Structure 1
């Protein structure tokens, strides 16, 4: 412990001295970034293979996004939704088109998008489906991660996220992820929605069995239940498609979006659905002072336009194949399993070899930044702007770490 403190930069110690300890960051202090690389206060460069949990899908300081932000900063940054600004219509129209939905409701953070989806689903259940007042239920999956508000942690199965934050919000049923039979048994006349991540990110990039998402879609249609897809991490190009649901030809009733929608510049989230779902809301029933602000809309509109070209989805598909081929070659050489889609991977390290945290610390020493989760698992989610050579470099550094 003493040796660790001696190696820890003074800036890290100072930050921890004045900050609530709700994170356990790696001991690196980043001062600048460009593309897939970040630079610390001592001038050392690192390949960023976390990309802000997918918030930086387009890399650090993408020129088109920075230009959009600069241009908007010189004109208008906030009006509140009490007024309409000149960036709002373009953002909502273009995002709705990207999603194939009628309407968009802008918010700020991913957790706000999830909370919005919950409220909309309940109101739809009472007003459209006819669920008796106060009895609406939503079915969710074990291992989920949808945020950390008090309502959301009420249906988390992660003790770190949930313990000691009760009393918990009722109205949720939890079933095993990937189990269609259990899901069908949980849905009843009070069910207004099934809320799922198409790929569970925080759990370790867990991909459900083939056919699961189409089965969820069919069940929701047959039972008159909304299928809500939390694509906050998996969406916007990360998996090789605009949305991970597309990989199995599935269209949910509602998309929950965030992270990459803000281009790594400002927090932007949104709910997208058709008018028969989002149209249940009326003025005064939901809102946000900063949701859909001019700066956010200017940046997010440019994000939508980047995605509309298909370039980043193609990069994620092609480079993802290279990444996964390199990682699968390490199974039996320190890795016991590899999961994921596109430029997103969960790696299970042999726990007898080292913990996920230790692996990330060793990768950091070799100039690669990644994040551990659940003991011996680490996640890789590099920016979609990463090159083939940079992917090979990251895999080579991981191989060296595993080899000791």
Structure 2
């Protein structure tokens, strides 16, 4: 079938809740993907950082195939021989005390919300049904009804109410705003170390350290959503490490499976996750043996192959090369590790036009918030590949 035939099928039979570039991919390996017509592209989105280890990494694929032949699903009604091993390896790697596995990133966020609310009632003595969680403007934590209830993006909220109460929104990157917003009913602050979907918005230096102190002083939980920034993307295993802090709850997903399978997890301490009792929360697929085996392999690849350090080195090189591009329409080039963004002035006419032209040059990028292009290739990228990408992007982004 031709590309236009696949596109017609999607348009005819699928809900129109996405606006993808009109490229139909059929194969991937490392940083490269190929479309149905045989054209090769560098993937500069990595499935929103789910493919940090590169497309179809052979070690993760082997683990998935081996486990799929043995046992795929038991539900949590029974134990399996992969779950405890994943727990231990995650805790050893991240210095966490407890793990609660789920499937999607949004499920991890919902899990954290439930856990800190119950912790607030049982441990902090917040009156029943009065718990508040502070969040930031321009956040993105998922698309469930509860999560969009504290979104400030009209696209996420228009015509989807009524919404879940119990959230207070403050400006991102403003530690004093957090301190001023805390009340006796506040149980947690939920924040992204870097706002990815908002356009790679990096808070001021020291912001997370200040936030950690404020939460400690107020006795509330700090929840870091590292679903996109975690697992090597920013040049550290977790983005919190850039400021030397530890969250009370850390949410991971996406690259936890290397793109092979939906796997997410809440990492926390015994005090908070210990409030959950049997029957109060769960998932049929959460913690299934196939997911656990895949996640264990994905974590080993990140560590054994030095992908975290490579993200730091290649990210610095990629950022410096992008900053060499001269165009008065570019407002800012920013990033940390291999999470980079080029933001255009509003009068430039939007970033989509550049993404379309980059596709013609063999680079797959995606615009966000109209004026911003993210560059987030798999962490296996080499220096030569970075230069290949920028050499092709520069004439387009400077025009």
TM-score by length of 2: 0.98
Within-5 A mapping of 1:5-404? 9-309=4-304, 311-332=306-327, 334-404=329-399
Distance 1:235 1:249 in 2: 14
1:23-54 CA-partner distances (Å, limit 9, x unpaired): 00000000111010000000001100000000
- Structure 1 residues 322 and 340, CA gap change in structure 2 (3 angstroms): same
1:140-177 CA-partner distances (Å, limit 9, x unpaired): 00010000000000000011111111001000000000
Distance 1:400 1:160 in 2: 33
Distance 2:305 2:9 in 1: 43
2:340 and 2:376 in contact (8 A); partners too: yes
Distance 1:334 1:384 in 2: 29
2:222 and 2:248 in contact (8 A); partners too: yes
How far apart are residue 333 of structure 1 and its match?
5.3
Distance 2:328 2:8 in 1: 35
| SS across alignment from 1:216 | helix
Distance 2:213 2:264 in 1: 27
| SS across alignment from 2:122 | helix
Structure 2: gaps of 5 or more residues: none
RMSD: 1.3
1:98 and 1:308 in contact (8 A); partners too: no
1:108-133 CA-partner distances (Å, limit 9, x unpaired): 00000000000001010001111111
Distance 1:42 1:14 in 2: 17
1:54-98 CA-partner distances (Å, limit 9, x unpaired): 000000011110110011011011000000011111111111221
1:331 and 1:337 in contact (8 A); partners too: no
Distance 2:311 2:326 in 1: 22
- Structure 1 residues 222 and 309, CA gap change in structure 2 (3 angstroms): farther
Structure 1: gaps of 5 or more residues: 1-6
How far apart are residue 334 of structure 1 and its match?
4.3
Distance 1:128 1:222 in 2: 16
Distance 1:315 1:164 in 2: 43
How far apart are residue 328 of structure 1 and its match?
1.1
Alignment length (residue pairs): 398
